[in-house]
Chains A and B, each alone.
Chain A
């Protein structure tokens, strides 16, 4: 039976990457812009990963001098900035750019040219940041860049200014993308797709955009004030006259919601992937949406938990502690709803589903250590130590990166029309799972023993005799992660060219993107799809409008 919603396979984007640059500069197609976002993100991932490997070599043994301390500080700042701003956020935006219009049955984003402009700010922003390495040193005060260390007096170099300029541009791009997503989702939904029928990934994108819209501007403002301090001689954050801690408040008012900007799209992907591979509808659709919104609101009331050692009033600290603990509740609801969705299902453990289970198993640890950290007295013991490094890598890699890889595995057939190689997929998953846990699990114990984060070296004696062995263990496993990423990228490149054809709907999906061809034509759908529930493709299958459910094994 012919596909009712899309014409026979149209001209595709298969060879887009080898087309002239003019196409990348002029296209307004959300799908190509999405691919450009994802490619930029993946390149940033590799770059940030290389920085991390150099740091791991430096830390492998006590008293090593592989690089000098100043370079080390620049690398740790660039690693944080690259991974948070230029990799995960950008890659997630790419996936959303590609799939939000498809999932709601739209032809494109609401503002296609703003979309393109917003994208191009990102490579410019990255270039500005990395210029620092060639102009006498990039930012060396950590990705958080706390003054007074970043004020002119203690950091006269150009690196801080380039960082501020780069991140302000990034904020502008983020705000543009957020406005665009919100308008698209509100205005361009297909007939019948009420808010109660939106796919959960789209709901997650609404929440992400709301968050970024709310907190992007304060970050830009904080960096602007910092620049005024540096260039115009004002004293917002300098220690005589200003308050250094004010910057921390502004920064974390952005910084904590940013964690959810990174993770909410991942939650959305998981909510899409589990039902497809378990052949069950999502458990508790309404409470899933409710949990998303509780997270949005709570995440803007917890920033102080990054600052529990700066000496705030204990009642203020208690407020932040209680709010932080409350976030565990909606996150717990989502967790148990996902498990209930899988429970009793007929689960096909394809590679995307393996990544989802990897996410559930590891993100849980990040969530639990988050409760330890929320308790103020415990926080004063483990804050700024490797325990925190382990915690946020379990949240951001165990959470965001696992889901993002799951999403890539899940949607690659739609984007390219070809399946990823399964054997390579197995290798990249298991190497990543083992490498990730090997790297970050023992970081908890190092932190509990008193190893602070962001140190260039450690003496290795007087109560730290075993740190060398543990750090060597971590360094070895960090290279396992690197291997898995190489396998993953090799798989992407090879399968894009030579993978077996995927067909329109290789997994038996529930949402509208699977109704069109793979890859979709420039106009997405030939006919405007009509939606009767939150699983429109399942409705079409039940009505006999879909050819088959066959998995391409």
Chain B
């Protein structure tokens, strides 16, 4: 009987132990930084719009953690305090049917919290997600998705093809506002580079727009986020930010490569549309599609 009691106690503490182990290993691994699989918050975007998402995430986290701790705390209190076995014999629970004041309280307080979160989200939405946010881009890149890869068409008139598990990066210059015009030739795809900013879908038939402005050089991973067929998982994505001079060199090299391949007969030349001239006027904000 004694042994059995010991076993029951050990059994009861098991969940607590599991949670502790989970928590400790999680924090330890998260401390190693990105790539651990255990980062507890969204990445702090290298682009201002991604950075604003990170700020918003932290803002939501304050009431979220408070409510989480409050409710779980109340549940644990009920578990400990109001167990029938622990209560004196003959305890008669009070027969409350409700309490107007309390019910109003837990209607109004969440509403106030949500007004704060909603307003902050709306401000970010207006600043980063309208056409105005990328109205005067330094560079316009047309990103076209297909099963299963990407085409990045640069304003200078060359196109970079990217396919497969080790994709060719989309090269962008640092400190420049890069507007991405997203479209698809077949099914819906999703453009997402977590370390830069949020995702935008590539929907066949209309153009979506998003933008990035990266201040430091680096290369980041991304992936198609909308199930697009058998090879969906191979639709990897890389974005590489380089200094202005390196970018100029990249443009020169790409143009030279393209001239070389054009002089030799290429089967897919007729399908390629003429590139937009550099510095083409941006779409007017009212007529433009919703910006991402």
Q: Flag the segment in A256-264, A325-333, A403-411 that touches B.
A: A325-333
Contact of B98 with A286 in the complex, beta carbons under 8 Å: yes
B38 pairs with A325, CB closer than 8 A: no
Q: What residues of B have a CB within 8 angstroms of the CB of A346 in the complex?
A: 82, 84, 87, 91-93
Residues of A near B187 (CB, < 8 A) are 146, 148-149, 154
| Shortest distance from the beta carbon of B94 to any chain A beta carbon, whole Å | 5
Q: Does B276 contact A (CB under 8 A)?
A: no
A344 contacts B64, CB within 8 Å?
no
What is the interface of chain B mostly: helix, strand, loop, or mixed? mixed
Q: Which of A220-278 contact B (CB under 8 A)?
A: 239-240, 243-245, 278
Interface string of A331-351 (1 = CB under 8 A from B): 011011101101111111100
What residue in chain B is nearest A282 (Cβ atoms)? B97
B190 engages A309 (CB within 8 Å) = yes
Q: How far apart are B185's CB and chain A's nearest CB, in angstroms?
A: 9
Q: List B residues 172-207 near A (Cβ within 8 Å).
A: 184, 186-188, 190, 192, 194-195, 197-201, 203-206
A259-B95 Cα distance, complex, nearest whole Å: 33
The answer to whether the Cβ of B71 comes within 8 Å of any Cβ in the partner chain is yes
Residue of chain A at shortest CB distance from B78: A342
Find out whether the CB atom of B227 lies under 8 angstroms from the CB atom of A311. Answer: no
Knowing A343-B82, A378-B42, A381-B57 are in contact, say whether A364-B91 is a contact too (CB < 8 A). no
Chain B interface residue bracket vs A: 35 or more
User: Interface size (A, Cβ < 8 Å)?
Assistant: 103
Residues of A within 8 A of B39 (CB): 445, 448-449
- Asked whether B203 lies within 8 Å of A311 as measured between CB atoms, the reply is yes
Q: Are A371 and B290 in contact (CB under 8 A)?
A: no
Do B188 and A455 have beta carbons less than 8 Å apart? no
> Is B15 positioned at the interface, with any CB of A under 8 Å from its CB?
yes
Instruction: Give the distance to chain B from A27, nearest Cβ to Cβ, in Å.
Output: 40
Q: Does A98 contact B (CB under 8 A)?
A: no
The answer to whether B103 touches A459 (Cβ under 8 A) is no
What are the residues of chain B within 8 A of A466 when measuring CB–CB? 29, 32, 35-38
CB-contacts of B83-123 with A (<8 A): 83-84, 87, 91-99, 102-103, 106-107, 110-111, 114, 117-118, 120-122
B199: chain A residues at CB < 8 Å are 309, 380-381, 383-384
* Inter-subunit contact B97/A281 (CB<8 Å): yes
Task: Given the known inter-chain contacts A244-B204, A280-B95, A343-B82, please indicate yes or no for A314 contacting B130, CB distance below 8 A.
Answer: yes
A433: interface (CB < 8 Å): yes
Contact with B224, one of A281, A286, A451, A452 (Cβ below 8 angstroms): A452
Closest Cβ of chain A: how far from B238's Cβ, in Å?
8
Q: A154-B186, A344-B82, A368-B67 are in contact. Are A456 and B233 (CB under 8 A)?
A: yes
A189 to B208, CA, bound (A): 55
Q: Are B226 and A442 in contact (CB under 8 A)?
A: no
B35 touches which of A280, A375, A465 (Cβ 8 Å): A465
Whether A430 is near chain B, meaning CB under 8 Å from some CB there, is yes
CB of A538 to closest CB in B, whole Å? 10
Q: Are B233 and A455 in contact (CB under 8 A)?
A: yes
State in angstroms the CA–CA spacing of A376 and B93 once bound together: 45
Determine chain A's interface SS by DSSP, over half rule: helix
Residues in B whose Cβ lies below 8 Å from that of A282:
97
Residues in chain A near residue B221, CB distance under 8 A: 450, 462-464
User: Interface with B: A48-56, A102-110, A316-324, which one?
Assistant: A316-324
Least Cβ–Cβ distance between B53 and chain A, in angstroms: 5
Q: Is the CB of B129 within 8 A of A314?
A: yes
B-facing residues in A455-480 (Cβ within 8 Å): 455-459, 462-471
Q: Which residues of A contact B53 (CB under 8 A)?
A: 377-378, 380-381
How far is B221's CA from A434's CA once the two chains are assembled, in angstroms? 33
Residue of B nearest to A472 (CB): B37
Closest residue on chain B to residue A277 by CB atoms: B84
The smallest beta-carbon distance between B76 and chain A, in angstroms, is: 9
> A347 touching B103 by the CB < 8 A rule?
no
- In the assembled complex, the Cα of A347 lies from the Cα of B128 at a distance in Å of 51
B60 within 8 A of A: yes
How far is it, in angstroms, between the C-alpha of A321 and the C-alpha of B118 when the chains are bound? 7
Q: Are A69 and B230 in contact (CB under 8 A)?
A: yes
**Interface residue from B57, B83, B129 paired with A376 (Cβ < 8 Å):** B129
In the complex, whether B125 has a CB less than 8 A from a CB of chain A is yes
A205 to B29, CA, bound (A): 45
CA A445 – CA B201 in complex, angstroms?
Answer: 22
Nearest opposing residue in chain B for A383, CB measure: B199
Nearest-neighbour CB distance to chain A for B197, whole angstroms, equals: 8
Contact of B91 with A442 in the complex, beta carbons under 8 Å: no
In the complex, residue of chain A having the shortest beta-carbon distance to the beta carbon of B55: A377
CB neighbours (8 Å) of A457 from chain B are 233
Q: Are A240 and B205 closer than 8 Å at their CB atoms?
A: yes
Q: Are A361 and B96 in contact (CB under 8 A)?
A: no
Verify if A126 is at the interface (C-beta below 8 Å from B). no
Contact A314–B290 (Cβ < 8 Å): yes
A243 touches B205 (CB 8 A): yes
**B126 within 8 Å of A (CB atoms):** yes
Given A154-B187, A371-B117, A311-B99 contact (CB < 8 Å): no
Q: How far is the CA of A529 from the CA of B111 in the complex (A)?
A: 42
Centre residue among A141, A317, A376, A456 by max chain B CB count within 10 A:
A376
**Interchain CB contact under 8 A, A312 and B75:** no
Residue of A348, A357, A455, A458 near B84 (CB, 8 A) is: A348
Q: What CA separation (Å) do A281 and B93 show in the bound complex?
A: 10
A526 in the interface (beta carbon within 8 A): no
- B96 with A344: CB separation less than 8 A: yes
The answer to whether B84 touches A381 (Cβ under 8 A) is: no
Is the beta-carbon distance between B37 and A446 smaller than 8 angstroms?
Answer: yes
Name A311's contact: one of B15, B38, B45, B292 (CB within 8 Å). B292
A-B pairs, 10 with minimum CB distance: A380-B198, A470-B37, A450-B194, A239-B204, A466-B36, A466-B37, A311-B208, A284-B98, A384-B225, A375-B121
Question: Hey, which bits of chain B sit against chain A, CB under 8 A?
Answer: 11, 14-15, 18-19, 22, 26, 29-30, 32, 34-43, 45, 49-50, 52-53, 56-57, 60, 64, 67-68, 71-72, 74-75, 78-79, 82-84, 87, 91-99, 102-103, 106-107, 110-111, 114, 117-118, 120-122, 124-126, 128-130, 147, 165-166, 184, 186-188, 190, 192, 194-195, 197-201, 203-206, 208-209, 220-233, 236, 289-290, 292
In the complex, 21 of the A-B residue pairs with CB atoms within 8 angstroms, ordered by the A residue number, are A69-B230, A244-B203, A281-B95, A310-B188, A310-B208, A311-B292, A318-B122, A340-B96, A371-B117, A372-B57, A372-B60, A375-B120, A376-B124, A377-B128, A379-B198, A381-B57, A437-B22, A438-B18, A441-B22, A442-B26, A449-B43
- Known: A239-B203, A438-B22; 16 extra A-B contacts, CB below 8 A, are A148-B186, A149-B228, A149-B229, A239-B204, A329-B110, A337-B103, A372-B60, A372-B64, A381-B45, A381-B50, A430-B15, A437-B22, A442-B38, A449-B36, A458-B233, A466-B29
